[in-house]
Amino acid sequence: MPPCLRASVSPSFVFSSASERAMQRVKITPPVIQIALDYPTVEEAIAMARLGVEAGVDWLEVGTPLIVWQGIPAIGRLAKAFPDYPVLADYKTMDSGGKNVERTLEQGGHIMTVCANAPDETVQSAVALGKKTGVLVIADTIGVKDQPARARQCQQWGVDIVYLHYGADQRRADESRDSTQWLDEVLAAVSIPVGVGCFGVEDAVRAVQKGAEYVVIGHPLISRPDPLAELKRFVEEVRANYRTRTS
């Protein structure tokens, strides 16, 4: 079975429009592996996405830098280039949550991110429209002080995944930490899938061994001399080490 079947809708299904594609709600089959395409051009993102697909990733992320550089149409270009793969739009939404769900839908994307630190109303508006349209909503916890409490609240509002995110600036300031620092507490606080932003194989393996259902990898791993080999190893190690959470 092709790797994309783990998390996509039916690859053989022909959609009549981008919005119809997004309406087919993505199923979450752990462990979901996502590649973050944080590039300034769509061409670079598509080239790396091809390597990710070859390595066996499940979801393709239109990264925040790509959206900043190229705008919303970058989502549509990735969705058209990889029609069999779920495409996530990483807006890091802090306002207009519902509108960003609409934009994702219009471009043929399947998943979007809202910052868990955003106003309550922003998270709620994203969730409301996500339920209506079939677009999955992920709450990104970057900058959240009380991660378990906010994760629990996001679950109550109906987000699909809570994503633990130790940011790049935080990592530069303290390389001894990563996103797994909050994992045990958040897994105990919520029953919905929990994701972890990873810097390499080591923290990804720790995450899935504890029961994280979703991991994301991008730079620095894909910046190495042989990104395909690095991605293949990442995928193999994550799949081999995944354990269902115990509680």
Dihedral sign, Cα of residue 127, residue 131, residue 133, residue 134 = positive
Q: Answer for the pair 135, 102: CB distance below 8 angstroms, yes or no.
A: no
Query: CA 201 to CA 125: how far, in whole Å?
Result: 35
Choose among 159, 201, 203, 153: nearest CA to 183. 203
Residue with the two structure tokens 């991008």: 218
Please provide the DSSP assignment of 105-136 as one string.
Answer: HHHT--EEEEETTS-HHHHHHHHHHHHHH--E
For residue 88, give the H/E element and its range.
strand 87-93
CB distance 87 to 58 below 8 Å: no
Question: Residue 62: in which H helix or E strand, if any?
Answer: strand 59-62
The domains found in the chain, sorted by start residue, are: 30-241 (3.20.20.70)
Nearest Cα neighbor of 101 from 125, 65, 74 is 125
Two tokens at 175? 């390389």
Q: What one-letter code names the amino acid at 120?
A: D
The pTM (predicted TM-score) of the whole model is: 0.90
Q: Return per-residue pLDDT of the chain as tens, 247 residues.
A: 333 334 443 332 233 344 454 456 899 999 999 999 999 999 999 999 999 999 999 999 999 999 999 999 999 999 999 999 999 999 999 999 999 999 999 999 999 999 999 999 999 999 999 999 999 999 999 999 999 999 999 999 999 999 999 978 888 888 888 899 999 999 999 999 999 999 999 999 999 999 999 999 999 899 999 999 999 999 999 999 999 987 5
β-bridge partners, 216: 34, 197
CA distance 34 to 245: 20
